[in-house]
Structure 1
Amino acid sequence: MTDYRTLFDLQGRRALLLGAGGIGGEAGRALAAHGAEVVCADRDTATAEATAAAITAAGGLASALALDVTDPDDLEGRLDEVGDVDVAVLTAAMNVRKRLLDYSPDEFDRVVALNLRGSFNVLRGVGRRMIARGAGSIIAFSSIRARTVEPGQGVYAATKAGLESLVRTAAVEFGDAGVRVNAIAPGVVETPLTAQIKADPEWYRAYATKGALGRWSQPSELAGAVVYLASDASSFVTGSTLSVDGGWTAVDGRFTPPA
């Protein structure tokens, strides 16, 4: 019989964070709290070290690693260094908020290089190793922008839609080996990346009231979804995108008509 008390137990598992700041940092702390050893990887060494230190200070097991997902050779070498991982969480992403006609080719290339090609590199590198072991869970962060677009978000949205397609494909191709691949799509989250919006009270309120819950989320509110997809609680979940958006994609428009 299934022992439901242990569904979320991650004791003895190793998790690799690819993007250790913000949402990634909260995910790492949550995974460690459920027993996982966490390898905190980030292009910025200080970010990786800070998250690893926070996990260790809370009694968890963690290490830090400098890693660039846009560089396939660096990624492959670092994955060899890390060794076996049971869970990989990819949060690394960027955005250049501009309308399409204002976008430069260089800006387009930079956003696509990290958000889409970086994701491709991770799925290949981590997926190949998990397939060889016959088990694993890959969790990639998408966005509500994969489905709902606004002016200035076109290229970012395109990369997230592409990421979700890669996730579904990887789930199908890796499934026979026992490897699960899923995505999480957050709504509006209070992070340094959204400081520009928070600085504009009207813009900030418009985003808050768009969702069913009428507020922004905190990075910690994404962590439960990560633990779920990393654990045995989601053992039959693959190829899915889990929306954690406060009902953003459930609401039609920003006007509440009279009943």
Structure 2
Amino acid sequence: MTDRPDYARLFRLDDRRAVVVGAGSGIGRESALALAAHGAQVVCADRDLAAAEETADLGEGMTTYRLDVLDGEAVRNAADELGVVDVLVYTAATNVRKRVLDYADDEFDRVVDLNLRAAFDLVRAFGPGMADRGRGSIIAFSSIRSMTVEPGQGVYAATKAGLVQLLRAAAAELGPRGVRLNAIAPGVVETPLTAPIRAVPEWADAYASKSALGRWSRPDELAGAVVYLASDASSFVTGTQLVVDGGWTAIDGRYTPPM
């Protein structure tokens, strides 16, 4: 009979090193703070180093690293320079809210590059080291838009659906070497990315009413999912998408926004 796990430490991350990409604000900031609170040594990575430093000042023993994920060489260098990484969290994303037929080429490239290509580069850069060590958890943020869309969200939704499939494929390939990859799919969250929506009362109220809980979520309400997927509590969870949407997809929320 195997030894019973110490359930009191199921979510502890002591002696593990986590890199949070996008730690300068929003979900990334709260993820970094939550991981540190559970014992992880956290590197707050962000293109805006000053914002990353603000995050680091809020927690214990956190360090910072300037990283522009749109620079593939910089991503590869980060994997080399940061050394042993047990947990990688990627939160950065962007959106251009336009109907598909109105999209310009550069707008398409901007959304795809940050939401999908950068995630691909991060997995390729940090995955090998984790595989060599036989342990690792890579967590990226998708969206409810990977499953359900609305007018003006087509390209964003395509990148988020693509991200989920990318992580599933990598989970299948790296699973035998001890690396887990999962996505977290939020609903509507109060972040800088959604500020333009919240500035329109009708739009903001409509989104709030579309979830079962009747409100927007806060960035800190996603942090628990990050800790779970980073820890041994999810040791048999890989290649999946954890939906944290306040019941939005359960009740099939729909709103056609102004464009």
Q: TM-score, normalised by structure 2?
A: 0.95
Q: Which structure 2 segments of 5+ residues have no match?
A: none
Q: Show structure 1 runs of 5+ residues with no match.
A: none
Q: Does 1:203 align with 2:207?
A: no
Deviations 1:179-212 (A, max 9, x none): 0000000000011211111111111111001011
Percent identical among aligned pairs is 67
Q: Secondary structure at the match of 2:190?
A: coil
Contact 1:209 1:254 in 2 (8 A): no
CA RMSD between the two structures = 1.1
Partner SS, residue 61 of structure 1: coil
1:52-201 alignment to 2 at 5 Å? 52-55=56-59, 60-201=60-201
Q: Which amino acid aligns with 1:38?
A: V
What is the CA–CA distance in structure 1 between the aligned matches of 2:170 and 2:253, rounded to whole Å? 33
Contact in 2 for aligned 1:95/1:156 (Cα 8 Å): yes
Task: Give the structure 2 partner of residue 10 of structure 1.
Answer: 13
State the match for 1:50 in structure 2: 54
Could you state the TM-score of these two structures normalised by the residue count of structure 1? 0.95
Q: Alpha-carbon deviation of 1:252?
A: 3.0
Q: Extract structure 1 runs of 4+ deviating beyond 2 A.
A: 252-255
- CA distances 1:204-223 after superposition (whole Å, capped 9, x unpaired): 11100101111100000000
Aligned length: 251
Question: What's the secondary structure of 2:63's corresponding residue?
Answer: strand
Structure 2 Cα separation of the partners of residues 115 and 197 of structure 1 = 19
| Structure 1 letter corresponding to 2:242 | L
CA contact (8 A) 2:91 2:141 kept: yes
The residue that corresponds to 1:217 in the other structure is 217
Aligned to 2:29: 25
> Which whole-Å CA distance do the structure 2 matches of 1:17 and 1:23 have between them?
10
Instruction: Judge conservation of contact 1:142–1:163 (CA < 8 Å) in 2.
Output: yes
